[in-house]
Amino acid sequence: MELIARERLLGWLRRGLPLVDRPYRAVAEDIGATEDDVIAEIARLTETGAVSRFGVIVDHQALGYTSNAMVVWDIPDDVVDAAGERLAGCRGVSLCYQRPRRGAEWPYNLFTMIHGRDPDEVARCVEALAESCGLTGVRRELLFTVRRFKQTAPCYGARRA
Amino acid sequence: MMDDLDRRLLDEFQRGFPLDPRPYAAIAGRLGCTEGEVLERLSRLKAEGAVARVGATFRPHRVGSSTLAAMAVPEERLEGVAALVDGFEEVNHNYQRAHRLNLWFVVTAPARERVEGVMAAISRATGLEVQEFPLVRAHRLDLGFPLWN
């Protein structure tokens, strides 16, 4: 697929496909490619990992999942990979990233996002996660989200309409 | 009001969306309804705000450079500092969280130098330290999560 067409396809994926019976054909017509090309390119983007998820993107806030916390864990370095894999596979965990510690005040090296309908549900979920992953003795903190100032798609280059 | 079919539509197709020329017919086949019904429901769920879009989320770091950053902002300055941070087009997420480090944001740019430049500019403009928490390893990207059951 030509670079321009590919860039425009990425724009469609970011904004959302049209809700019509043949969405790939509709996009193909707009970007000057074939339906098969569009399908193959989305498959390729997913396989290579450039796209982490392709599907129905739900708005958790609108569905009543109004509470979430960034939960940070202080995991011994030699088991942080294993703990990360276990936590990543658990229900309720939407993101699971290793990040560097920052001194005595910030000893946490594993960051997870946990969602729920209210703070109690988030807290119960964290408790259950710690139990099921063998992390009850591990120091952790819950940083509840108080306010969302900004949430937009990342800008990696020149903006396109 | 949402029914079981709505919930399955929201829950079971957050990834692995059918790459079939008629994806909504493929979904209808799995849910035991018609293609028209799937489209009608998704349109309604989108109008109601439950569905943001049928589309993609992208993996960080594959294009350009990004990092997570945090600041400890005095409560009375929070609004102003948050607005200043929001003003950078390189900032795509910015949240207040309940902690001493109370402002957390993601900086994304085509090149690492620009990411560093934005953090330095925020620090200069506010007189506050900007702590960086770069990604070491992703165990789970935004893959969605089950809403029910």
Sequential DSSP letters for A82-145 = HHHHHHHTSTTEEEEEE---BTTTB---EEEEEEESSHHHHHHHHHHHHHHTT-TTS-EEEEEE
> Residue A59 falls within a domain, yes or no?
no
Q: Which residues of B touch A72 (CB under 8 A)?
A: none
Q: What is the pLDDT of residue B65?
A: 85
> Residue A61 falls within a domain, yes or no?
no
Q: Are residues A33 and A81 in the same domain?
A: no
The partner residue sitting opposite B139, judged by closest CB among A16, A87, A100, is: A87
Is B144's CB within 8 Å of A94's CB? yes
* pLDDT band, very low/low/confident/very high, at A160 (cuts 50, 70, 90): very low
Residues B50-64 have a mean pLDDT of 82
Q: Are residues A83 and A127 in the same domain?
A: yes
Q: How many domains does chain A have?
A: 2
Q: Which residue has the higher pLDDT, B124 or B110?
A: B124
For residue A91, give its domain range: 67-144
A117-130 pLDDT, tens digit per residue, is 899 999 999 999 99
> Residue A21 falls within a domain, yes or no?
yes
Q: Are residues A43 and A72 in the same domain?
A: no
A38-69 pLDDT, tens digit per residue, is 999 999 999 988 888 899 998 887 888 889 99
CB-count exposure of residue A142 (10 Å: 0-12, 13-18, 19+)? middle
Q: What is the pLDDT of residue A159?
A: 39
Q: What is the pLDDT of residue A157?
A: 47
Is the pLDDT assigned to residue B64 strictly greater than 80? no
Amino acid code (one letter) for B126: T
Q: Please identify among residues 102-121 of chain B the ones whose CB lies closer than 8 Å to any CB of chain A.
A: 102, 104-106, 108-110
Q: What is the CATH number of the domain that holds A116?
A: 3.30.70.3460
Rounded mean pLDDT of chain A? Answer: 90
> Residue A20 falls within a domain, yes or no?
yes
Q: Are residues A90 and A120 in the same domain?
A: yes
Cβ–Cβ contact B67 with A under 8 A: no
* pLDDT band, very low/low/confident/very high, at B22 (cuts 50, 70, 90): very high
CA–CA gap between residue A111 and residue A65 (Å, rounded):
20
> Residue A60 falls within a domain, yes or no?
no
> Residue A154 falls within a domain, yes or no?
no
Is A96's CB within 8 Å of B90's CB? no
What ipTM did this prediction achieve?
Answer: 0.76
Residue B34, CA distances (Å) to A54, B28, B39, B54 in order:
22, 5, 9, 18
Query: B35-48 vs B4-12: helix axis angle to the nearest 10?
Result: 80
Q: What is the pLDDT of residue B149?
A: 38
> Residue A53 falls within a domain, yes or no?
no
Residues B42-57 have a mean pLDDT of 94
CA–CA gap between residue B32 and residue B9 (Å, rounded):
12
Q: Are residues A140 and A71 in the same domain?
A: yes
> Residue A159 falls within a domain, yes or no?
no
Q: How far is B74 from chain A (nearest CA, A)?
A: 15
